[in-house]
Amino acid sequence: MLNGKTAVVTGASRGIGKAISLCLARAGADLALIYAGSKEAAEGVCKEAKKLGAKAISYQCNVADWSQSKAVCDAITQDFSTVDILVNNAGATQDNLIVRMSEEDFDAVIGVNLKGAFNFTRHLARALMKSSSGRIINITSVSGLMGNPGQANYSAAKAGVIGLTKTVAKELAARGVTCNAVAPGFIQTDMTASLPQAVKDYAHTATPLRRMGSADEVAETVAFLASSQSSYITGEVIRVDGGLCM
Ligand code: NAP
């Protein structure tokens, strides 16, 4: 399905990004995998992808940093003959109520979640336009759709990602590149593992399907958006949230 395509996945070392990477590899894609600090984990994902027959290379990069992102995107376009799929998945939270949130916590979360998606889209846009079927998939969140107490920074960043998605979809449509967003609800990863038990209980009761989702359930939706089966979908936000944000 994705044979001969190259996918760039940010935040590929763990959680949803790891699941996306392996799902795309199973579909036949080669992988450029971006991580921030988890070198061993990223190399482990590379190894698993290679066992599935993919070419896979990992790159260390703080996606919030414009110059580092540019250098890594340049390296990717040298190492792979095409770039066909970009998944902006890298994300981080630093939760606090608005009355206690520091400027640093606001800037850091906007930096990774929103500027990171901008940096990689900006630096790979020309390469994606050269592909016969460019695909950009941004991982946003239900927090960006409905807000969430304690997450002013994260909700603003993820809502920003939706605006970015729709604008890029409009700008690149004429070049055959689609751009969509996936909005997960509560998904079992490191990001949610540290939530207080009361919030985990809320996740179950507030979600109509009465459970948290798995990283693989998000990855399957991303793989669909990366494939030719989604060729007439652009500027869309698909929730993978068990009905949480209806
Ligand atoms: P996670 O398990 O905490 O993993 C985060 C990933 O992002 C890691 O690979 C990490 O790399 C990478 N990362 C963090 N800061 C980075 C930076 N500055 N530069 C480059 N990479 C960076 O998170 P997750 O739960 O899989 O979340 C993945 C995406 O889904 C995020 O965008 C998140 O906001 C979104 N999401 C998650 C949920 C959920 O319930 N889990 C819900 C809605 C949306 P290292 O391992 O190298 O640090």
| Tens of pLDDT, residues 66-77 | 999 999 999 999
91 C-alpha to center of ligand 1: Å? 4
Q: Is 59 among the residues known to form the active site?
A: no
- Atom 9 of ligand 1, nearest CA residue: 11
What pTM, to 2 d.p., does this model score? 0.99
245 CB-contact burial (10 Å; exposed 0-12 / middle 13-18 / buried 19+):
middle
Other beta carbons within 10 Å of 168: 24
Give the single-character DSSP code of 22: H
CA-nearest of 19, 18, 22 to 35 is 18
12 C-alpha to center of ligand 1: Å? 8
Q: Which atom from ligand 1 is nearest to the alpha carbon of 13?
A: 9
- Atom 6 of ligand 1, nearest CA residue: 11
Alpha helices of 2-151 — where are they, by DSSP H? 15-26, 39-51, 66-79, 103-110, 116-130, 142-146
pLDDT on residue 134: 98
pLDDT in tens, 59-113: 999 999 999 999 999 999 999 999 999 999 999 999 999 999 999 999 999 999 9
User: Which amino acids bring their CB within 6 angstroms of ligand 1?
Assistant: 10-17, 34-38, 41, 61-64, 89-92, 112, 139, 141, 184, 186-187, 189-192
Let me know the angle formed at the C-alpha of 37 by 6 and 116, rounded to the nearest 5 degrees.
Answer: 60
What confidence category does residue 223 fall into, taking pLDDT thresholds of 50, 70 and 90?
very high
At 59, which amino acid appears? Answer: Y
Residues with Cβ < 8 Å from 53, sequence gap 6 or more?
A: 25, 28
